[in-house]
Amino acid sequence: MSEPTGKREAQRKVERIRAFREQLGELVREGVLDLSPDQSAKLDVHLNKTLSELAERFDVDVSDSQKQISLGMLILSTLGGLAFCAGVFLFFYRYWGLISTPAQVGILILTPILALIAMNFASRREKTLYYTLLIGLVAFASFIMNMTVLGSIFNITPSQNAFLAWGVFALALAYPYRFRLLLAAGVICLVIYAAAALTAWSGASWVACAERPEFFLLMALAAVLVPVIVRHRKLSDFAGVYRLVGLLFLFAALFMLMHGSQMSMLPFGRKTIQSIYQIMAFVAAGAAIWLGIRHRLPDTVNLGSAFFAVFLFDRLVYWWWDWMPRYLFFFILGLIAVGLLAVFRKIRTRMAGVRTP
């Protein structure tokens, strides 16, 4: 059995061991399997040793009660983090006007740096990294506040470069600690930066990047391709984050272009552009589902299916809502859902057939 590289993988291994034990107990009770006391004791020792090693190394939950407490801790740490951030914000809100400008600048620069040092300190003292993630989020939020408030104090022209700094900052925290949330934040910032930079280079204001979804389309594709180009063997969870963030941007950009052909830079007529992006949207969602099934990526399949449904519903409303009686529209919608269910059922049966030798 391969060694887990992270907490999530270790937790999956614990779940497999627990399922194996349950199934084994059932087989013994039914008399299908008859283990000698010596074999049974050896197996128990081995499994207990594996579980305690995993608990020691990755601080995983080996029982249901531990799992429930961990969930409670996660909720508590999130709420605590939010309360802490609100407290810091309101404190400065109360006294900000009484502080001189150099002191304000000093506080803005020092806050993320102190949070980073605290994060490093916390990471050395805990295995679960709950507090480390919490402080990491505070560090990221305070760096965003740093740039935003500094711009506000000195009336600086907003620039897309801030997204580059935020993105690199988030990635610098995400990789050493394996924080997927910060990785997602970093990738979002970098996609926005790249799309905004392309918009600026094309001659428009970078702020207008929201009206140029084609740049987002390119950058989203780049984000999806990152795990293909850069293999994340030790950080297997990270590939999914790049893929999901990239696909979200991709589908959102396609949705915008399906409706707003005036935002496109393609040298075609309005109808042609809309048709191109409508076809592209369905092809992209279908491709995501197909690739997700093929490579066993359930998140990609779910996202692809969700957007396929959104695109389909959107088109059906656009084509039929005005001229069709409402009851007929919903009747056809129900029929399409039944048809899709039949297709998915067929795929599911085929997959079960492939898995069962």
Partner 1 sequence: MNRTGLILAITVVLASNIFVLIGVSGNRSGVPFETIELTERELTLQSQPKDDSGISLYLNWKQPTTEQLPSGRARDAHFDSVKLQELGVQLQLSGRLRIARKIPSAPRGLRSLRV
Q: Which residues bind partner 1 (CB under 8 A)?
A: 90, 93-98, 105, 108-109, 112-113, 116, 119-120, 123-124, 139, 143, 146-147, 150-151, 154-158, 161-162, 165, 168-169, 172-173, 175-177, 205, 207
How far is the C-alpha of 244 from the C-alpha of 251, rounded, in Å? 10
Kindly tell me which of 58 and 308 has the beta carbon lying closer to partner 1. 58
How far is the C-alpha of 34 from the C-alpha of 127, rounded, in Å? 40
How near is the Cβ of 237 to partner 1 at its closest, in Å?
A: 17
How near is the Cβ of 118 to partner 1 at its closest, in Å?
A: 11
Dihedral, CA of residue 31, residue 37, residue 42 and residue 43, to nearest 10: 20
How near is the Cβ of 116 to partner 1 at its closest, in Å?
A: 5
How many Cα atoms occupy the beta-carbon half-sphere of 335 within 13 Å?
A: 7
Q: Kindly give the residue spans of alpha helices, DSSP state H, lying in the chain.
A: 7-30, 37-58, 64-95, 101-125, 130-153, 161-177, 180-201, 213-229, 236-259, 270-294, 298-320, 326-355
How far is the C-alpha of 238 from the C-alpha of 235, rounded, in Å? 6
Query: First vs last Cα of the chain: how many Å apart?
Result: 21
How near is the Cβ of 7 to partner 1 at its closest, in Å?
A: 15
How near is the Cβ of 258 to partner 1 at its closest, in Å?
A: 25
Structure tokens, 121: 């300190």
How near is the Cβ of 115 to partner 1 at its closest, in Å?
A: 10
Maximum separation of any 2 CA atoms in the chain, in Å: 80
Kindly tell me which of 112 and 292 has the beta carbon lying closer to partner 1. 112
How near is the Cβ of 240 to partner 1 at its closest, in Å?
A: 21
How far is the C-alpha of 296 from the C-alpha of 290, rounded, in Å? 10
Cβ contact 229:259 at 8 Å: no
Q: Is 160 helix (H, G, I), strand (E, B) or coil?
A: coil
Kindly tell me which of 52 and 120 has the beta carbon lying closer to partner 1. 120
Kindly tell me which of 11 and 146 has the beta carbon lying closer to partner 1. 146
Structure tokens, 26: 């059932």
Kindly tell me which of 182 and 195 has the beta carbon lying closer to partner 1. 182
How near is the Cβ of 210 to partner 1 at its closest, in Å?
A: 14
Kindly tell me which of 121 and 318 has the beta carbon lying closer to partner 1. 121
Cβ contact 160:206 at 8 Å: yes
How far is the C-alpha of 255 from the C-alpha of 216, rounded, in Å? 12
How far is the C-alpha of 73 from the C-alpha of 87, rounded, in Å? 20
Say which amino acid occupies 354.
Answer: V
